[in-house]
Structure 1
Amino acid sequence: MKTFTTLLYLFCSALVCSAKSPHILFIVADDLGWNDVGFHNPDMITPNIDKLAYSGLILNQAYVQPVCTPSRNSWMSGYFPFRSGLQHLVILPQQATCAPLNRTYLPQELKKLGYATHMIGKWHLGFCSWDCTPTYRGFDSFFGYYNGAEDYYSHVIQKGKDFRDDKKPTEADGEYSAHVYAKRARQIINDHNATQPMFLYLPFQSVHEPIQVPKKYEDMYSQIKNDGRRKYSGMVTAMDEAIGNITQALKERDMFDDTLILFTADNGGWPTYSGNNYPLRGSKTTVFEGGTRAASFITGAGINAKNETYNGMLHAVDWMPTLVAAAGGSISNADMDGMDQWTNIQTRTPSKRTEFVYNLDDMNPPLTGHAAIRYGNYKLIQGYPGMYPGWYKPATVEVNQEIEELPYERYDEKTWAGQNMLFDLDADPNEHNDLSREHPDIVKKMSDMIQEYKRKMVPANYPANDPKSDPSNYDGFWTPGWC
């Protein structure tokens, strides 16, 4: 397969491609808050991330979904979660489901353009069948885990081990996952034939809970008295060091200048686990900006920028067609939600996007917000917005911090039915002033837009847990083959 891919690339170079396709490094930070990177918050020690961000284009309005499975499917497929059955929470280890198999994924499109495709890190798009897993969805290699929220050292989640080298189950060696991933990334880069374009998808485990980090990184934040925030901040810095080691490997191979680097969070930070989105409102799981507006930048090959900010509206669904365009290809699929924003980003011209859906979730209770839509500078939230409605400053002093919640356990459909919140995000990006009573005409127009989108919505694919998934059936590993 590698020989064929190399020949395909050489054929493309000789007869089809007019310009050299860049290497693409797509980095995802899990549960990273808006306020958890140095380029937004100088209290964070992220020199490598900051250097990359300031060497390119900081994306000020790059949106994702409130939780991780929907975001990951968005940028892999180019489709909104409510059109994929993934609008309700995340895929759990015991659920016999995965992201729709009838959609072409980003690495499959890049392979058509001659790319070698590799993935390191967290999948979280389903694994009950081998067809659902990374090497069946376009990746030449996979090194990582299928689920979420596992231990950073043992790779155990819910009493099952979850770590793979391609399809092979791999025992943990006790090394911190950010270090393990950086080491494998360096190996892939060092072994790669630099004349062929490479796509390296690197969704880190960091900085999702559990809150775990080697002590030397925690000690870099000794001024923080809150135990969770101190450790969490250390996790961010450990990830930053891993990113620095990976970019250094690209430089050593003379590949760095030919590499396009995209960095994004998959959703907002989670204050209950010490992530922080201040001054944005809300948290992971909510459709407020704190749950959905990602810390993000793009830099490197094709991005002629330095310390610039792009305010154009982008959504996770746009990355699939945009990265394919950056690679020299195109997506001819009028049904796709994603828009090719490559030229707009390169030239800093206004975004093609004027609207997007934050989420549409009709299951009760809707754990990640019932419904929300952006149209121009206005944002409408309908019904339950998610569990965390407040503004949460970093817990740097307090030993304990009160986190205001709207627990779904006490969700009352009648309480939220028909409730609207309207915000002007140009004038009020932190969502303090609800304008719904002042502008009923705008509420009506945007409500009608939501109803129109609902015509395309498919029911949430959120089955009950299946006992056939039990890791004890597979030598203690979470393993495909039971659906």
Structure 2
Amino acid sequence: MEPIKLLGNVLLLLSLLQLAASGHPQPGSHNNTKPHIVFIVADDLGWNDVGWHNPDVKTPVLDQLAHKGVIFNQSYVNYVCTPSRTAFMTGYFPYHVGSQHLVFRPDTPSAIPSNFTFLPQKLKELGYSTHMVGKWHLGFCNWKYTPTYRGFDSYYGYYCGAEDYYTHFRSNNKEGGIDFHDNKDPVTDQNGTYSAYLFSGRAVDIVNKHDQNIPLFLYLPFQNVHAPLEVPKRFEDMYINVQDENRRKLLGMVSALDEAVGNVTMAMKKMGLWDNTLVIFTTDNGGMIIQSGNNYPLRGGKTTLWEGGTRGVAFAHGKMLQKTGYTNNEMIHAVDWFPTILAAAGGTADPGIDGVSQLDTIVSGKPSPRTEFVYNIDNIFPTIQGAIRVGDYKLIEGFAGLPDGWYPPPNMTGSRPDNKDPISGTWLFNLKDDPTEHHNLADTMPDKLKEMRAKLDGYRKTLVPAINPKADPKSDPKNWGGVWSPGWC
């Protein structure tokens, strides 16, 4: 070989070795410096239903992840399932998407429009392998609205909002059918197996088969602890001192969720993925009080705009976090997880979305770039609904939701909150001084009320009409082999 050519080859080899040592990917190789990201969503998990808020709740796995990571004290979600999942997957407030009114029902042609790019689609552009296990609830009447058409490489779970944990059967008035899918295929051979076992088992299988050189995005929206109250007896027996049966089951469901998360984290450690993994954990809304979820001392719960329905339990965990072992009080909203996860993956969200990246906030505790957000704006309720937070102040106008009030965990007599008439009115709170919303300032701070109303009116001008179609008989599972299936819109 000629000396000049030999020298050139040596220099090229040295250059490549230096590039490899610097942690940058070599040409043609996968970038294994990107973090694996596990995004876990609990369903209807209340403020007072986790061990780091309530020592009576047995969640050792989640507690350890939270305490060794960053606990978020002001992480907000929407008041029910579909709107929060919209925010997670699109980075937009639901009232900008059309999903702000309650939830998508299985018998209606409701879905997030196709012009919205979902989070896994953006992550695939960054080289991620993307997988989803669990609850969808963002529309399924057409295949184009389902997970594997919206950026996920694989999907294992259910499309609707709720179902039986063992039979995986979803009833809806007179209609009913199996709602369980493995990618596009219905799953009909798992009758009798608890969903948390199935979901954690599939997640572990994904981890075990994953190529370590490719960054992994694993979205785990578990069924627990949404109604119906069902749990294997061994978890319920962990709370034998809780005399209220429904509360005992609910707490057992929380502990079943905790074990499921532990199974996934153990698999990631075994496969050598854990040290380069960012875990984000959140609920989708507050606990449902009539189903024994608990948000005390916050006011209200699921289906309400009170803090108990919208201030969610959340944390982040991972070695990429520079400041850990503390509670972060910065303002975060569900729409922020979209750009935050993209930033962690080395990408940037499209301009114009409602979310802002909180990566610096969760990694190093820097002040949140968010100073305000919209709880919800909905013009379908009998009384127009709107709520915003700006700084320390919160305004609710119109229908605030049920139930209203403050509910400690069910006592020995098994008492439940009485259903009250729908609450409508105007409320102004200073959440810094009054996080439990006991003191309405609407009458005593007229100037602040005027300022907040003007801000809310400005947000209302950007409202997108809610997606709220009528039921379609073509959705009936009997038309699809007894399965809730796409193909009818």
Amino acid at match of 1:340: S
Give the alignment partner of residue 13 of structure 1, picking from 22, 25, 34.
25
Aligned ranges for residues 44-443 of structure 1 at < 5 Å?
A: 44-158=57-171, 159-171=176-188, 172-333=190-351, 335-365=352-382, 370-399=385-414, 401-408=415-422, 416=424, 419-443=425-449
Q: What secondary structure, in the 3-state scheme, does the structure 2 residue paired with 1:320 have?
A: helix
Instruction: Give 1:345 shift.
Output: 2.1
Q: What secondary structure, in the 3-state scheme, does the structure 2 residue paired with 1:280 have?
A: coil
Amino acid at match of 2:37: I
- Distance in 1 between residues matched to 2:350 and 2:163, nearest whole Å: 38
- Distance in 1 between residues matched to 2:421 and 2:302, nearest whole Å: 13
Structure 1, residues 188-228: CA drift from partner, whole Å, max 9, x if none? 00000011100000000000000000111101100111010
- Distance in 1 between residues matched to 2:140 and 2:104, nearest whole Å: 9
- Distance in 1 between residues matched to 2:328 and 2:25, nearest whole Å: 32
Structure 1, residues 131-169: CA drift from partner, whole Å, max 9, x if none? 000000000000000002200001111121100000000
- Distance in 1 between residues matched to 2:185 and 2:337, nearest whole Å: 30
Scaled by the length of structure 2, the TM-score of the pair is 0.92
Q: What secondary structure, in the 3-state scheme, does the structure 2 residue paired with 1:60 have?
A: strand
Amino acid at match of 2:261: I
Which residue of the partner structure matches residue 455 of structure 1? 461
Aligned residues of 2:31 and 2:214 also touching (Cα < 8 A): no
- Distance in 1 between residues matched to 2:349 and 2:381, nearest whole Å: 36
- Distance in 1 between residues matched to 2:350 and 2:240, nearest whole Å: 53
- Distance in 2 between residues matched to 1:404 and 1:15, nearest whole Å: 65
Instruction: Give 1:349 shift.
Output: 1.2
Structure 1, residues 433-477: CA drift from partner, whole Å, max 9, x if none? 111111111111111111111111011111111001000000000
Which residue of the partner structure matches residue 10 of structure 2? none
Aligned residues of 1:108 and 1:139 also touching (Cα < 8 A): yes
Aligned residues of 1:390 and 1:404 also touching (Cα < 8 A): no
Aligned length: 461
Instruction: Give 1:404 shift.
Output: 3.7
Aligned residues of 2:323 and 2:364 also touching (Cα < 8 A): no
- Distance in 2 between residues matched to 1:301 and 1:115, nearest whole Å: 19
- Distance in 1 between residues matched to 2:236 and 2:411, nearest whole Å: 13
Structure 2 spans left out of the alignment, 5+ residues: 1-19
- Distance in 2 between residues matched to 1:201 and 1:290, nearest whole Å: 25
Higher-Rg structure is 2
Aligned residues of 1:269 and 1:283 also touching (Cα < 8 A): yes
Instruction: Give 1:19 shift.
Output: 8.1
Q: What secondary structure, in the 3-state scheme, does the structure 2 residue paired with 1:394 have?
A: coil
Which residue of the partner structure matches residue 24 of structure 1? 37
List structure 1 segments (4+ residues) > 4 angstroms apart after TM superposition: 15-19
Which residue of the partner structure matches residue 469 of structure 1? 475
Amino acid at match of 2:303: T
Scaled by the length of structure 1, the TM-score of the pair is 0.93
- Distance in 2 between residues matched to 1:40 and 1:404, nearest whole Å: 25
- Distance in 2 between residues matched to 1:124 and 1:24, nearest whole Å: 21
Aligned residues of 2:238 and 2:252 also touching (Cα < 8 A): yes
Instruction: Give 1:247 shift.
Output: 0.3
Structure 1 spans left out of the alignment, 5+ residues: 1-9
- Distance in 2 between residues matched to 1:165 and 1:77, nearest whole Å: 23
RMSD, aligned CA: 1.6
Greater shift in the superposed pair: 343-352 or 73-82 = 343-352
Instruction: Give 1:15 shift.
Output: 5.4
